[in-house]
Structure 1
């Protein structure tokens, strides 16, 4: 049978045209954004569509069962088969190529979205591990797996191979993390230790739709958090290991800190090894306020600088050898040998730093870039970004909802898309200012791309970050990273001193710039937290609007995609600007209550500092808990604070004897929040929120409209998922229980209370939110 001719507008012809342009276009020719996207082909859409399926899985308010996954897998297979049938019909002339292209693209896109959904579910069940559902105090034994520093400047130990008293191994968390409240010598990684401490489950969100530490902990395999006031006792020394990245990382970090000294030494160690435990929280805050904190986290900046320095140094060295003693090897591809060496150095850097999404993404992009050099292909392209994104989403789909993933790819893709415009005009500038202009442009573009994401996640915007980065990044590339590589090479010979001295000068300059910029007036702008839908809308809108430019000019579908993307961006902006923060917030343990006033949120008392600070940051308020507690709204004695809310009394009871005052407080109706457990039969004509009830439904938020109160609980906002519901974990056989795959989803499980929130039965004796009985806040349990 003779196959019909393929029309010029078909998918196959367009792909062929792109391949022709790929090899015919000069390496130095200027490109437009559509050219750059066209060269990447349809590959750039694959991670976008995978992300849609992954995002749908995370957005569910119930845990899908086995039947749901089978249905999605069957749908994906059916869509792939349908695409194949459409192609055969087009080849047979039974359907037009234009229509076939549309149907095939639609079927492929839906199949990829289904694949993303399945990847997220598979990953969740692969990493699923027991989570402690009650408060535990007693002996804790385990192997030291990691050491870091908390937001309260306390050292923390992460233990694996955990043993807890009277707890079966299949119910014991895979990993636990404990803050050390007292200074003491830290055990080396791999050493088996024993201590006595408090443990509890990872805490839930500070407010509904807030950051859920339980989800992050679940995917990290962290099943309990807590603290100890007791010394750490060695049970067994660390066994000798030939390749122990953690031990080597901490050993090198300690050596660098001792050689350089001070916080500049701690920063230098973080840059080269990824160990940030030596950086004080005050230094971290300074770098956040000056927008230099990204430099401390190993990401694309560090990986690209290291790879570029190693590649350039090896190529120059090999060229010198070839020109002098190795003339017989003239014509050998020394650039490929240099690329191989740079790839090996980058892989070693990744191994030493223990990875992380920004580091893994950076390594994948550097690896693809260097691989392109080895294969005589273009090194920097959107295809490189797409391949890195696909690899990360396939291995760790949960990375999609992290700020590191979002900001890394937003910055990288934006720079690649905008760089062609720079290429067209760079030669018009004098060579002496070309480098500085490129630095300004790249910093500006990366800042524009990542600032909205950073503001949405962290509720702050560094106003002078561009200035700080312009002063610091060149020093990083010219001094710090090259000196670090030289120190690594000369270290085994005992000759690393001068290189470490130069590296210390560079990090000292970075800290100096950070301190000066952070001290400028208005350096940090507080930004209210957006509703959860804003980031997905804005991200999809920006991506679609840019990638839709790949279609030929005049294509109606492309124009509509661009318009749709811009519309999504505008919708996200409008939702963010017009969003209304809750009029009332109640902590998940009842320790703190905050009402919105004309002066900002007023706290009943300056307790629950971590939760209260999270509320204030989300409000776009720079005040601390003490200042917020001093705002005029509450009255009454220390343990019985009163105010009015929606025309009814609101009472917060705390302290000694608070439970005995519940009956009197409830007699007046209204809302009563008790930091404690109410006695049996204490209910009256009031809405009572005590610890027993709040541990079921989590933190509470309320809005007043027309005199009516609309409630939303953290439990209702997050739903019954593997990381948030003990019942769901029990049904799936996590924690020593036999798995049960229900015929119905958990969407209808549970019951609703008078506040309009769903509760679930607890099987544990005394679940807690992760804070210890001494009132220690959650700052030590946060990431």
Structure 2
């Protein structure tokens, strides 16, 4: 029985390759310790042993051994990638001169212009210790459009190591920055001055320069939000998008139209493919004697590669190009383009090339949507719809694809962004067809007419389409109940949910229903997910206490980024001042006290308040944003300790014990946070 079940899977084994690689990569990134040489050697020997068994066992069981080999391979790929991008990370807070070359210009979450610099020079710091890249937010009325990509700038600013999670188990920006070789982040309030003009920067910088000039030209020709939108989908430059527009796009589930991802790459290359093939079909000599379909596929690949380069080549765009590339290569090889095999091949390439992308929402959501679409439309091929009118088939395709993609990505979007758009399907039905039929063709028209100076004609059509999309986003986002928020899930939810959904799609036979069971289990775990009783920011200046009214914050301003993340993860985002006005914390000047049952936690801000505090002031745990020089009769987390532990989560367990969990303890001792020292297990205080 088992042999027959395993043999029935042989026609669909390619789909399990990225799944097994992903399991190995996930195991690596979830580990508490970096695997050492002895462990890696042991894993390599295990892989060799499994390879031998794979050749010796019954053919039915061979895929099981290959799956284990692929899991071990995934661990090795992630480890190799981590070591390959190893670059210096700033180990302290720096203030002084900063010199570097512009390699990116964008905006921060607070809407401040931001520069990413390489070729960094810091005062009295050797090149071996200097970060490969730094990112500096520019405050004040400085026009970044006056600077050219590739220019070397000088400024005086503050730099810090990349921050850890805002709360234990949260998004790890340290890990994200590690793979970007981003060794420090900070800000400047002084004028940014030119030091050197661009000199022989190479192809990469030349493309970056072309991107920024095109973005500026588009925004000049199309002022306002539509121009910023057009620049974003043509060049990947979203620095001009307003925060209100971004919020409306997210609330209406149209934010995917802004990022250059699978939809844009698919629409553009699909339009080019159809245009070239249709144009060649009009010429009888070529249509009858030439492989027009393959010629169109090659042209679409070339245009897609150009779009990839022009858009900045970020991870989402690279992933999108690989996916469409695999599909057009299938056309060149006379294979069906849209199959689960093609999706699996694209996933394998990305996981081998950039294993860390598995942990990001972009990879998860794009492959969830693509896999679901291919699976559902493959299932629909069983039904004869050719007798229906063409317009009915077109409408059905749009409705089904929007609904399937929306449902497939909804749990991942909710897990990562803590929100669900209830009218996203309506917004997508009103916007996506126009994106494909007007906006992207207009972008191609703009590119074609640019050499003869007629590119504004294409921009005029783009403006019409984008105005409609923004109108839909604004009105759908403004509907009552358009958006709801959910609690951040337990760490086990996404892995169980993902494997369950993939099992339901890939497994052959009745056993696929087990995938549905896994999905239900994941949703039940999510429903039971709880939030910490008390959260402490890694700078010691903000507390967040859970109460019946929602989380109570210790202050109405300051540390707003961390405060926003806490409230979003609670599934109840409100303005920081509203959360600070709730009852639950006792405030006495710059001293804030919280109680968890019999336990007292006191936060002290500033040197004066700390000096006036006698002992611990009756607290069991003392939090301070200053260094506490002398020993005190309680558990102390001052600014020095918090730099090592990261943010804190405190909860009272069922036995009355106070459990203190640190962000560094949850993340483990990894290369991206090694400056923090050994990771500590949770601290338990007994009554």
Shared fold, TM over 0.5: yes
Question: Are 2:293 and 1:335 equivalent residues in the alignment?
Answer: yes
CA apart distance, 1:59: 0.9
Question: Taking structure 1 as reference, are residues 750 and 441 closer, same or farther at Cα in structure 2, changes over 3 Å only?
Answer: closer
Partner of 2:34: 63
**Structure 2 counterpart of 1:671:** 621
Q: Distance in 2 between matches of 1:463 and 1:274?
A: 27
The residue aligned with 1:288 is 250
2:344 to 378, 386, 389: 386
Moved more, 59-68 or 173-182: 59-68
Q: Distance in 2 between matches of 1:161 and 1:252?
A: 25
TM-superposed CA distance for 1:11, in Å, is: 8.4
Q: Give the match's secondary structure for 2:618.
A: coil
Q: Which residue of structure 2 lines up, in the alignment, with residue 634 of structure 1?
A: 585
User: Shift in Å at residue 222 of structure 1?
Assistant: 0.3
Instruction: Classify 1:263/1:10 alpha carbon distance in 2 versus 1 (closer, same or farther; 3 Å).
Output: closer
Give the Cα–Cα distance (whole angstroms) in 2 for the partners of residues 460 and 54 of structure 1: 27
Alignment CA distance shift 1:428-1:635 (3 Å): farther
2:21 counterpart (50, 60, 84) = 50
Match of 1:709 among 658, 681, 685: 658
Match of residue 527 from structure 1 = 486
Q: Tell whether the 8 Å contact from 2:645 to 2:676 is kept in structure 1 after alignment.
A: no
**1:675: how far off?**
2.3
Instruction: Tell me which residue corresponds to 2:529.
Output: 579
Structure 1 residue 724 displacement after superposition: 1.3
1:164 aligns with 2:125: no
Aligned equivalent of 2:239, options 277, 291, 294: 277
- Residues 1:599 and 1:13: Cα distance change in structure 2 (over 3 Å): closer
With over 3 angstroms needed to count, the CA separation of the structure-2 counterparts of 1:710 and 1:563, relative to structure 1, is farther
The count of aligned residue pairs is 677
C-alpha contact (below 8 Å) 1:658/1:676 kept by paired residues: no
Q: Does 1:489 align with 2:448?
A: yes
Aligned partner of 2:44 in structure 1 is 73
- Aligned-partner SS, 1:183: coil
Report 1:464-543 matches (<5 A).
464-543=423-502
TM-score, normalised with respect to structure 1: 0.83
Structure 1 unaligned runs (5+)? 1-7, 16-37, 87-99, 729-748, 757-783
CA RMSD of aligned residues (A): 2.1
Instruction: Give the direction of change, closer, same or farther, for the CA distance of 1:385–1:148 in structure 2 (3 Å limit).
Output: same
> Which residue of structure 2 lines up, in the alignment, with residue 220 of structure 1?
180
The equivalent residue for 2:272 is 310
Cα shift readout 1:691-733 (whole Å, capped 9, x = no counterpart): 12211211111222343222211111001001112277xxxxx
Residue 386 of structure 2 corresponds to 427
Q: Contact 1:208 / 1:713 at 8 angstroms: preserved in 2?
A: yes
- TM-score (norm: length of structure 2): 0.95
Q: Deviations over 1:12-57 (max 9, x none)?
A: 9986xxxxxxxxxxxxxxxxxxxxxx4xx31111000000111110
Q: 1:174 and 2:132 equivalent?
A: yes
Pairwise CA distance, 1:679 = 3.1
What is aligned with 1:461? 420
Relative distance call for 1:487 and 1:346 in structure 2 (3 A) is same
Aligned pair 1:724/2:673, yes or no? Answer: yes
Deviations 1:212-256 (A, max 9, x none): 100000011100000001111111101255732211111111111
2:136/2:188 contact within 8 Å kept: yes
Deviations 1:426-473 (A, max 9, x none): 335433322122111111111111100000001111111111111110
Alignment of 1:136-155 (within 5 A): 136-155=94-113
CA contact (8 A) 2:607 2:626 kept: no
CA contact (8 A) 1:10 1:101 kept: no
- CA shift, 1:343, in A, is 1.1
User: Do structure 1's residue 375 and structure 2's residue 310 form an aligned pair?
Assistant: no
**8 Å contact from structure 2 (residues 540, 642) kept in 1:** yes
The DSSP-based 3-state class of the residue aligned with 1:169 is coil
- Counting only pairs closer than 5 Å after superposition, residues 28-39 of structure 1 correspond to structure 2 as 38=11
Find 1:319's aligned residue among 274, 278, 281.
Answer: 281
Per the alignment, residue 574 of structure 2 pairs with: 623
Residue matched to 1:739: none
Question: Displacement, 1:358?
Answer: 2.7
Partner-residue secondary structure (3-state), 1:600? coil
1:411–1:131 CA distance, 2 compared to 1 (3 A): same
CA distance in 2, matches of 1:251, 1:313: 28
Deviation at 1:537, TM superposition (A): 1.0
d(CA) in 1 for partners of 2:215, 2:672: 34
Match of 2:601 in 1: 650
Q: Which residue of 2 aligns with 1:201?
A: 161
Q: Distance in 2 between matches of 1:506 and 1:417?
A: 31
Q: Is the 8 A contact 1:659 1:677 kept in 2?
A: no
Distance apart, 1:185 and its partner CA: 2.9
Q: Which residue of 1 aligns with 2:259?
A: 297
8 Å CA contact 2:660, 2:683 repeated in 1: no
Q: In 2, distance between residues paired with 1:418 and 1:75?
A: 38
- Report deviation, 1:563: 4.8
Q: For the residues of structure 1 that align with 2:667 and 2:599, how far apart are their CA atoms?
A: 29
Counterparts of 1:751 and 1:311, CA distance in 2? 56
Q: Which of 258, 265, 269 pairs up with 2:227? A: 265
Distance 1:175 1:611 in 2: 24
Q: What residue is the counterpart of 1:84 in the other structure?
A: 55
- Contact persistence 1:208–1:714 (CA under 8 A): yes
Counterpart CA distance in 2 for 1:434 and 1:162 is 56
Partner Cα separation in structure 1 for residue 250 and residue 8 of structure 2: 50
Distance, in Å, in 2 between the alignment partners of 1:328 and 1:489 is 23
Q: 5+ residue gaps in structure 2?
A: none
| 1:166 shift after superposition | 0.9
Name the residue aligned to 1:94: none
1:404 to 362, 386, 391: 362
CA distance in 2, matches of 1:390, 1:330: 37
From 442, 445, 465, the counterpart of 2:401 = 442
* Residue 357 of structure 1 pairs with residue 315 of structure 2: yes
Check whether the contact 1:468–1:513 (CA below 8 A) recurs between aligned residues. Answer: yes
| Distance in 2 of aligned mates of 1:522 and 1:412 | 28
Once the two structures are TM-superposed, the CA of residue 637 in structure 1 deviates from its matched residue by: 2.6
